[in-house]
Amino acid sequence: MRWPARSLLVAAALLAAAPVSAEPICRAVDLRFAPGAADMQIAVWIETKAGKFVDTAYVTRLTGQFGLANRPGEGLMKTDFRWPYGRREMVLPVWAHRRNKHYPKIMMGGVCGNSPASLCPDKSPCSGDCEDSTIAYHSRVSSYEPFYCSPTGASKIDALSCASKGTFAKGAYADPPAFSLYPPRADLNAFSQVDSENAKDFAKQNDLVAISRATPLAGKPLDPALSWYSPEVPDGEYVAWIEMSQEADFNAQHNHPNKKDSVDAWDFEGHSFLGQPSVVYQVPFRLGPDGWSAIATSYAGYGSWDGSNGTLTPPDGTITVGVPGKGAGRLLEQKDGLDVYRMKVLVGSCPHPDGGVADGGGGVTDGGMPVPPACIPPDAVTELEVKPAATELTVSFRTPALGTAPNRFSVRYHEGLAPITDDNFYEAISARDPPMPGAPGTVVTTTIDGLLASTEYTVAVRGISPCNKGSQVVAFSTATAQQKFTVLHGCFVATAAYGTPLAGAVDDLRRLRDHHLLDNPAGQLFVAAYYALSPSLANAIATDRRLRTATRAALAPLVDLASQLR
């Protein structure tokens, strides 16, 4: 039996170190599903039939590495592209509560302190900067932010990158007994004098970063499927669970209110997102020597919309069904020639490096005892190349030709030239779309997007074996290119203000110029003056977020007039 590449092995070090005769038989659990929407938060985990949590097999990187659900800020504030603040405890509440792992809770704050009441102590020199209920005015507890974006969201020229660098509060630990059911972020590698000492401890508290991966592509089944290995888990009855959360998945029954920003002047930023809550599927299965196949065709229930509890509410007609990508359609219906399913579980024996299986029943054996699969890391990749563009890097490398074949690759990066090594590899940011393994000795390619222009980055790659052993890290440093701005037909200021010459407002203004200004002397004089003055002004506007915002506000009456004159 050929088992897919994306696999996890629980306690691999114990497996490799213990005597063969003492080893339990190793089972492999293959979990198959196809996400119906992009950028979802997903957790896959295993429980006993009696409901005892066993292990997390997979969690998406925003929750597992970037601390999405345990960040500074009121969790019900609005959102936008990589929104800078707000602990999203509603992302995977069923998984989080059933797992019941306690972490320090992150509140707004910095070197001057924090408080569970969302306000720094009165004696603090920066008490107002620790207000948890606003996105504004945290400058005295803020340092450079490597991942999350400013409230203005994505660049209007590249919707997958931040508009500019930001400085935001990393946060500090709330006083006990406060805790979070989600890990803090594990991607910080640089700190400033305004950061709390707690921020340096965040990565040490995160025990999920090694299994955190990018959200799968929407509309396609995982290929290869996700696998979970069970050398320590005895044969018996179990349940595989998957929980999925998606922002702004509204329907008539689920359109919940966000909390208003406590600073009125900033409440216009962001948008609502509290729609249908997390949706859960489950598949009972059996670990045993005879294998197993089981499916789920309908969802088991949904989580709390605000994450306040871990209750699994049974289907009650309030969740959208039959619409791909929405509600229960966050898992797509799949057909494999045998079954029609939303989630499928296959149980078999672990693969063995000698080509057999460690099943104790005709596979690879040693004196009648089952032989567990060796846990040997792959060789390092070679010929790593990184080609820069303005907001992305194209990464290519050659897969190892000999030795253990990697089941998958992990590609990670961080800003700056600091080395990425075997010791700090999992603290670097994981790429959104790592490459498929390919045949031994072939060149594979992937793209890292969402980067800042004219910025230095270090990229690192390692191959991962079926038992989750990583190869030696290979790294490369480079810098992204300068952002190029395109101006169409001379609308300099409007293009700079709206970030793209294709914006609807720019098109309206262009139409106003062509049809209502250039056909009369006064209008021609205005256009000539505009062309004389606007290029230098546009350059300033294009590089300053505040000027872009102010210019759009100033142009708004003219845009309204242009729209009416269509």
Residue 496 binned pLDDT confidence (cut-offs 50, 70, 90): low
Tens of pLDDT, residue by residue over 271-328, are: 999 999 999 999 999 999 888 999 999 999 999 999 999 999 999 999 999 999 999 9
CA geometry: angle at 424 spanning 421 and 429, to 5°?
100
pLDDT of residue 22: 41
Mean pLDDT is lowest, of 75-84, 302-311, 494-503, 551-560, for 494-503
The percent helix, strand, coil of the chain (3-state, each to 5) is: 20, 25, 55
Residues 61-120: tens digit of each pLDDT: 999 999 999 999 999 999 988 899 999 999 999 999 999 999 999 999 888 777 545 446
Instruction: Name the nearest CA neighbour of 191 among 165, 210, 167, 209.
Output: 167
Global pTM value? 0.75
Q: In whole angstroms, what is the distance from residue 148 CA to residue 543 CA?
A: 19
508 or 364, which is more confident: 508
Q: Which of 219-223, 282-286, 437-441 has the highest mean pLDDT?
A: 282-286
Q: One-letter amino acid identity for 202? A: F
Three-state secondary structure call for residue 59: strand
Tell me how far apart the 2 most distant CA atoms of the chain are, in Å: 99
Helix (H, G, I), strand (E, B) or coil at 550: helix
Predicted confidence (pLDDT) per residue in 339-360, tens digit: 999 999 999 876 654 444 444 3
Task: Note the residue count of the chain.
Answer: 566
CA 486, 492, 494, 497 torsion-angle sign: positive
Mean pLDDT of 193-219: 90
The strands making up 41-48's β-sheet, listed across from edge to edge, are 212-213, 53-60, 41-48, 236-245, 279-287, 301-302
Among 357-361, 384-388, 424-428, the range scoring the smallest mean pLDDT is 357-361
| Secondary-structure class of domain 382-479 per CATH | mainly beta
The strand pairing partners of 301, in sequence order, are 280
List Cα–Cα distances, 430 to 64, 263, 390, 493, in angstroms: 11, 34, 19, 37
Above 50 in pLDDT, residue 371? no
Task: Give 241's strand partners.
Answer: 45, 282
CA-based nearest residue to 230, from 370, 372, 341? 372
Residue 110 forms beta bridges with which residues?
Answer: 113
> Are 104 and 207 spatial neighbours (Cβ–Cβ below 8 Å)?
no
For the chain, give every domain's residue range: 6-345, 382-479, 492-564
Contacts of 274 (CB under 8 A, 6+ apart): 76, 90, 254, 255, 256, 257, 258, 305, 306
